[in-house]
């Protein structure tokens, strides 16, 4: 991102926010997933921070291509 000179830093703000969210989830240091029997993720799960943000970042990058 820093090497791309055709757009300014403001262009990347949302991407950096998603990366920060992923890093926050990873910083926990361990997988805090839901038990196999859980229907939804518990409040303490870090899956949404890590995997959810990674998915959103992929979508964002698809929508904001730079030629």
pLDDT in tens, 16-62: 999 999 999 888 777 777 666 666 666 677 888 888 999 999 999 99
pTM of the model as a whole:
0.75
Q: Token pair for residue 6?
A: 């055709």
Q: How high is the pLDDT of residue 34? A: 67
Residues with Cβ within 8 Å of residue 4, at least 6 apart in sequence: 66
Kindly state the tokens that stand for 42. Answer: 């518990």
d(C-alpha 43, C-alpha 48), whole Å: 10
């Amino acid at each position: 991102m820093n090497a791309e000179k055709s757009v300014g830093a403001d262009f990347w703000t949302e991407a950096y926010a998603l990366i920060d969210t992923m890093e926050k989830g990873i910083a926990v240091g361990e997988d805090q997933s839901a038990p196999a029997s859980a229907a939804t993720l518990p409040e303490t799960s870090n899956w949404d921070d890590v995997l959810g943000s990674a998915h959103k970042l992929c979508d964002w990058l698809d929508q904001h291509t730079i030629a």
